[in-house]
Amino acid sequence: MDKIVPMEEVKNPDFLTIRRDPTDKRPTAELRAEALLGTAAVCNARVIRSFHTNREMLDLDACVTILAAAAKKVSDGDCSGTESILSAQAVALNTIFTSMAIRANSCKFIPDTEAYLRLALKAQNQCRSTLDTLAQIKHPRQTVITKQANISNGPQQVNNTLNQGGEQQHLNLKNSEIEQNKLLKHEQEKGERLDTGKTGAAG
């Protein structure tokens, strides 16, 4: 159970210190719920501490503080911490790959060899994925915008630029008709009338 304690009191490393603002008049249960659920640093600090081999040496408050600071650095655009984590993980995954591959080579039975080789290749694939993520952080891929082309199964190719040209011609024709209508209206307002009489018979 997490306890709300003064800062100077010695606390159990398993507990999270929740400090109350003197002006905050909310119930203790609501204050505790906000502290535990309001930030991702608290939940992840508990996970890290539960899995760490030296968990008794890790203070939960210190873990939360470090995770919150790391998250703020990333939000501010500083990815140096993320890059160091990924590079270290890539080396660790490569070590796992090497270890599993060596064990596979020393096995006498095919099922054992296949099992170790499967683990080795999984570690190798994760190492490759980690390095690819690190490369994208260091050198983001640029988005290239090209004209879309629809390729049929046969030798035919339909280029959408033709459709774009047709649309442009349609717009030009429509604008021309609008200008002609404006011109006719202007002539009619001046009092000029078009000759609407029928054509006389040919002599």
Location of structure tokens 């709300």:
4
CB 62 within 8 A of CB 77: no
What value does the mean pLDDT take over residues 90-110?
95
- Percent of the chain past pLDDT 90, that is, above it, reads 27
Contacts 24+ apart (CB under 8 A), 56-63: 56/13, 58/13, 59/13, 60/13, 60/14, 60/15, 60/16, 61/11, 61/16, 61/17
Taking residues 37-53, report their average pLDDT.
Answer: 84
Q: What is the model's pTM? A: 0.55
The answer on pLDDT for 12 being more than 70 is yes
Q: Where are the domains of the chain?
A: 1-76, 79-140
For 84, phi and psi rounded to 5 degrees? Answer: -65, -40
Q: Is residue 112 scored above 90 in pLDDT?
A: yes
Give the count of beta carbons closer than 10 Å to the beta carbon of residue 35.
Answer: 18
Q: What phi and psi values does residue 133 have, to the nearest 5 degrees?
A: -65, -40
Express as a percent the part of the chain with pLDDT over 70.
64
- What pLDDT, on a 0 to 100 scale, did the predictor assign at position 171? 63
Residue with tokens 């459709």: 163
Q: Is 48 helix (H, G, I), strand (E, B) or coil?
A: helix
What's residue 162's pLDDT? 45
Q: What is the mean pLDDT of residues 53-59?
A: 83
121-164 confidence digits (pLDDT tens)? 999 999 999 999 999 988 887 766 666 656 656 666 555 554 55
Q: What is the mean pLDDT of the chain?
A: 78
CA distances in angstroms from 61 to 18, 50, 66, 73, listed in the order given? 9, 14, 9, 19
Give the pLDDT confidence score for residue 189 in this predicted structure.
Answer: 58
Q: Crossing angle for the helix pair 40-51 and 28-37, nearest 10 degrees?
A: 70
Distance of alpha carbon 125 from alpha carbon 93, whole angstroms: 9
Copy the structure tokens of residue 158. 């339909």
Residue 185 to residues 173, 178, 188, 197, 198, Cα–Cα distance (Å): 19, 11, 5, 19, 22
Tell me which residue of 106, 107, 102, 100 sits closest to 125, measured CA to CA: 100
Q: Per-residue DSSP letters for 128-153? A: HHHHHHHHHHHSPPPP-----EEEPS
Tokens 């260091």 -> residue: 138
Q: pLDDT tens-digit profile of 57-93?
A: 888 888 888 888 988 888 888 888 889 999 999 999 9
**Which one is predicted more confidently, 18 or 95?**
95
In the block, which residue shows the tokens 């290749």? Answer: 121
